[in-house]
């Protein structure tokens, strides 16, 4: 009987640890409501595995106006690398950057990576390129180690 009570107590004490330990370590991408009464945002997420496979990524994306785009890119500031705060948009006017934030990893592990998340809003029909660069920003630091170019068409 004593053994059974001890086993039951041990199970009850360890259950929360097991449940919490089974959670995802992936940082959550913030949810963004449709901008300007448009459709739900299109999303693009690139992980560290994507960048390991290919350091310079080009994607084509189509939006219906009004529409928004959420871009989530793996980042690990503990390495000294970071994505530029503002995306490079050319030409200006078709799409506009609304926000940019770093989302911390869902773990306390030292050196774990999170992700940078940008939100864009379509402004008019047309085409534009959105460029992102992952670099060490100080003088003499490595530049454009990873790049992402999004060719966006707004209809």
Structural domain spans, the chain = 26-154
d(CA 122, CA 124) in angstroms, rounded, equals 6
Tokens of 101: 């934030």
Element (H, E) at 99: strand 95-103
CATH number, span 26-154: 2.60.40.2020
d(CA 36, CA 68) in angstroms, rounded, equals 9
**pLDDT by position in tens, the chain (length 155):** 444 433 333 333 333 333 333 344 455 555 555 566 667 899 999 999 999 999 999 999 999 999 999 999 999 999 999 999 999 999 999 999 999 999 999 888 889 999 999 999 999 999 999 999 999 999 999 999 999 999 999 99
Question: % helix / strand / coil in the chain, to the nearest 5?
Answer: 20, 40, 40
d(CA 23, CA 145) in angstroms, rounded, equals 31
- Residue 77, exposed/middle/buried by CB under 10 A (0-12, 13-18, 19+)? middle
- Residue 94, exposed/middle/buried by CB under 10 A (0-12, 13-18, 19+)? buried
d(CA 35, CA 22) in angstroms, rounded, equals 35
Bridge-based pairing of strands 95-103 and 146-154 is: unpaired
pLDDT value for 63:
96
Which stretches does DSSP call E strand in the chain?
Answer: 42-46, 56-63, 68-75, 82-83, 88-90, 95-103, 114-122, 126-135, 146-154
pLDDT value for 33:
55
């Amino acid at each position: 009987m004593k053994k059974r009570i001890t086993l039951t107590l041990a199970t009850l004490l360890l259950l929360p640890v097991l449940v919490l330990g089974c959670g995802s370590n992936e940082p959550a991408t913030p949810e963004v409501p449709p901008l300007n009464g448009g459709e739900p945002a299109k999303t693009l997420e690139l992980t560290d595995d994507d960048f390991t496979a290919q350091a310079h990524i080009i994607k084509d994306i189509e939006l219906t106006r009004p529409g928004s785009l959420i871009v989530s890119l793996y980042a690990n500031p503990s390495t000294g690398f970071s994505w530029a705060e503002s995306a490079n948009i050319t030409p200006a006017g078709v799409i506009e950057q609304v926000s940019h934030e770093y989302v911390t990893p869902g773990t306390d592990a030292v050196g774990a990576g999170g992700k940078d998340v940008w939100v864009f809003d379509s402004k008019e029909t047309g085409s534009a390129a959105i460029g992102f660069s992952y670099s060490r920003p100080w003088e003499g630091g490595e530049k454009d180690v990873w790049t992402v170019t999004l060719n966006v068409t707004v209809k």
